[in-house]
């Protein structure tokens, strides 16, 4: 029973004494504990500034914007970003400046209304650079600002480019916009989801169709020290719960790497270029 007593105490410390009207806090917790489970420990609070840790700026309370620009000669493996204007592929716009690359980091894969996109990265080709903007929420309160920032970024003639965004990122963002009673700025935009065309073209012989696998096989690019995407939820959780910046910069880097890989992989969609895993590796 000592655990329960400790839980009761902890609960009482955090939220003050039990309300006079309702049932005693401790008693309820004890009843629940006995009926089913055990408690988890929560850490101390205390938060370093997130913007600094991510080398970004706070554009609204709790919302951090991280901006990066990559010169067009930047290569992902053997493919330079500069090749984007030459891409001729189904779904890819004649004017590559219309492409809006999108990738999210979320609180999990469960789907439904209980999953949040806490980091959203957008990429856009400029005349002299490939620009990335990432918005990161320091807490749930910043979600409306994040969604607002996304909406401000979208142009009417944009073409979305994503990897698996049709079944994952876009429905999730649509849910978030709906939860905040905001119109979904992405709804109705043309959307090139690279996952299936890349898989059709290059998937044969690959162990799976993940972005990282294609990136290695098709672009010949192996990421160094890349944080697996699956660890992103835990990284944000650690920040929320304990105020630890921890792996958040790694997640941001991973998100940028995904966006760059998408931009490069667009050049491997068309029929004119014959790139096989073998030639990619040679290069």
Partner 1 sequence: MPPSLQSPEALDPGDLFAASPYPPSPETPADPTADAADLAEALCRTYGPRIVARVDLPAREAHWADFPEALDPALAAALRARGIARLYRHQREAVDHALAGRHVVIATPTASGKSLCYHLPALQRFRTQGKKALYLFPTKALAQDQVADLLEINRAGALGLRTCTFDGDTPGDARQAIRQHGDLVVTNPDMLHQGILPHHTKWARFFENLGTVVIDELHTYRGVFGSHLANVLRRLRRILRFYGADPTYILCSATIANPEELAAGLIDAPVEAVRESGAPQGARSLLLWNPPVINADLGLRASARSQTLRVARQAVARGLKTIVFANSRLETEVITKYLKDVFDADPRRPPRVAGYRGGYLPTERRDKERKLRDGSLDCVVSTSALELGVDIGALDVCILNGYPGTVAGAWQRLGRAGRRNRPALGVLVASSQLLDQYIARHPEFFLEASPERARIAPDQLLILMEHVRCAAFELPFVVGEKFGGEDLPTLLAYLEEQGVLHREGASWHWIADSYPANAVNLRGGADGNFTVIDVTDGRKDVIAEVDLSSAALTLYEGAIYLLQAAPYQVERLDWTGRKAFVTATRADYYTDAIDYTKLKILDDFERGGTAEAACAHGEVHVVRRVAGYKKIRFGSHENIGYGPVSLPDQEMHTTAVWWQLTEGLLDRRFADRQTALDGFLGAAYALHHMAALLSMADLRDFGRAVGDGSGTWSAVTGPDGRGSLRGLGGQDLGQALAAPRFRPTVFLYDNQPGGIGLAAPLYDLRGELLARSLSLVRDCGCREGCPACVGPVLPASARGGLAAREAALAVLELMRGAE
Out of 48, 49, 71, 111, the only residue in the binding site for partner 1 (CB under 8 A) is 111
Q: Which of residues 192-211 bind partner 1 (CB under 8 A)?
A: none
What six digits make up the tokens of 100?
């809006």
Q: Which of residues 239-278 bind partner 1 (CB under 8 A)?
A: 240-241
Give the Cα separation of 106 and 95 in Å (integer): 31
Q: Which is nearer to partner 1, 35 or 204 (CB)?
A: 35
Does residue 80 touch partner 1 according to CB under 8 A?
no
**Between vectors from CA 206 to CA 204 and to CA 209, what angle results, nearest 5°?**
95
Give the Cα separation of 75 and 199 in Å (integer): 22
Q: Quick one: which segment of 52-60, 96-104, 111-119, 258-266 binds partner 1 (CB under 8 A)?
A: 111-119
Phi, psi of 148 (to 5 degrees): -65, -40
Does residue 15 touch partner 1 according to CB under 8 A?
yes
Does residue 83 touch partner 1 according to CB under 8 A?
no
Q: Which is nearer to partner 1, 48 or 126 (CB)?
A: 48
Does residue 18 touch partner 1 according to CB under 8 A?
yes
CA torsion sign for 90, 91, 97, 101 is negative
Q: Which of residues 205-244 bind partner 1 (CB under 8 A)?
A: 233, 237, 240-241
**In the complex, minimum distance from the CB of residue 161 to partner 1, in angstroms, rounded to a whole number:** 23
Q: Which is nearer to partner 1, 134 or 175 (CB)?
A: 175
Does residue 34 touch partner 1 according to CB under 8 A?
yes
Out of 5, 55, 57, 141, the only residue in the binding site for partner 1 (CB under 8 A) is 141
Does residue 55 touch partner 1 according to CB under 8 A?
no
Out of 22, 44, 207, 228, the only residue in the binding site for partner 1 (CB under 8 A) is 22
Does residue 47 touch partner 1 according to CB under 8 A?
no
**In the complex, minimum distance from the CB of residue 147 to partner 1, in angstroms, rounded to a whole number:** 13
Q: Please give the residue ranges that form the binding site for partner 1 (CB under 8 A).
A: 7, 10-11, 14-15, 18-19, 21-23, 25, 28-29, 31-32, 34-37, 39-40, 42, 107-116, 139-141, 171, 174-175, 178-179, 233, 237, 240-241
């Amino acid at each position: 029973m000592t655990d329960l007593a400790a839980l009761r105490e902890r609960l009482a410390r955090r939220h003050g004494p039990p309300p006079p009207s309702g049932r005693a806090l401790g008693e309820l917790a004890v009843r629940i504990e006995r009926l089913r489970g055990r408690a988890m420990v929560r850490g101390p609070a205390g938060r370093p500034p997130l913007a600094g840790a991510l080398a970004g700026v706070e554009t609204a309370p709790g919302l951090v914007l991280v901006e990066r620009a990559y010169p067009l000669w930047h290569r992902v493996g053997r493919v330079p970003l500069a090749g984007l204007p030459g891409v001729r592929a189904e779904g890819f716009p004649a004017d590559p400046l219309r492409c809006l690359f999108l990738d999210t980091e979320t609180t999990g894969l469960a789907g439904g209304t209980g999953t949040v996109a806490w980091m959203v990265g957008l990429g856009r080709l400029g005349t002299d650079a490939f620009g990335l903007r990432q918005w990161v929420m320091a807490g749930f309160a910043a979600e409306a600002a994040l969604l607002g920032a996304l909406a401000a970024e979208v142009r009417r003639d944009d073409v979305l480019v994503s990897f698996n965004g049709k079944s994952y990122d876009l429905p999730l963002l649509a849910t978030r916009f709906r939860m905040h009673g905001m119109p979904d700025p992405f709804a109705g935009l043309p959307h090139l989801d690279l996952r299936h065309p890349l898989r059709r073209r290059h998937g044969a012989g690959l162990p799976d169709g993940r972005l990282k696998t294609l990136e290695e096989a098709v672009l010949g690019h192996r990421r160094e020290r890349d944080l697996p995407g699956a660890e992103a939820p835990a990284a944000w959780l650690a920040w929320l719960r304990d105020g630890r910046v921890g792996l958040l910069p790694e997640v941001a880097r991973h998100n940028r790497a995904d966006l760059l890989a998408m931009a490069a992989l667009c050049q491997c969609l068309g029929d004119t270029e014959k790139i096989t895993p073998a030639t990619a590796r040679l290069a």
